[in-house]
Amino acid sequence: MKAIAFTGMPGAGKSEAVRVAEELGIAVVRMGDVVRNEARKRGLELSDENVGGLADEMRREHGKDIWARKCLEELKGKDVVVIDGIRNIEEVEFFRRYIKNFILVAIHASPRIRYERIAKRGRSDDTDSIEKMKERERRELSWGLGSVIAMADVIIVNEGNLEEFREKIRQLLKENED
């Protein structure tokens, strides 16, 4: 199995990178979907506070790699897979133990651009408040996201137009299909 894992701050472009992978027919496992599914099972509204709070609580109670462990079953039987949403080094280490060929890709964009994107995209766990966005970033950085970004095998800067970014992702994925 080969896994290409995307990480980055909220609004950097991970979801768009995943769309490119799907268009290329590459299997995708979204760690955030696993968290949101758990929130639904518990009857929680899918707000940033609830989803982020649940993710944080589960990490404290069950270990920082809990969401990676919960994703492992979804990875089985796939030759090439994209994993979206790595948030800490423990998740990276967990996947590297189970996946021989694991490539960590950090997607980067400036805070200003990320805030603009988040305000426009309208996902249920997003907010349009700059202060709430900063609070989300602080929470995700407290999980170790900054260290994950710093340890990435590949860094893709997403500061240009959408098609330019999509082409960078297509190229990366095509280079790593085998």
Q: What 3-state DSSP class applies to 101?
A: strand
Nearest Cα to Cα of residue 143 among 83, 84, 58, 75: 58
Instruction: Classify residue 79 by its DSSP letter.
Output: S
Q: What is the pLDDT along the chain (178 residues), one digit of tens a residue?
A: 899 999 998 889 999 999 999 999 999 999 989 999 999 999 999 887 899 889 989 999 999 999 999 998 888 888 899 999 898 999 999 999 999 899 999 999 998 898 888 877 665 555 666 777 888 888 888 788 899 999 999 999 999 899 999 999 999 999 987 6
Number of domains in the chain: 1
Cα distances (angstroms) measured from residue 23 to each of 36, 70, 83, 99, 175: 23, 25, 15, 23, 15
Assign residue 8 the CATH number of its domain. Answer: 3.40.50.300
| Cα distance between residue 158 and residue 57, in whole Å | 31
Q: How many CA atoms lie within 13 A of 152 on its CB side?
A: 22
| Cα distance between residue 172 and residue 177, in whole Å | 9
Containing structural domain, residue 97: 2-175
- Residue 162's CB is within 10 A of a number of other CB atoms, namely 10
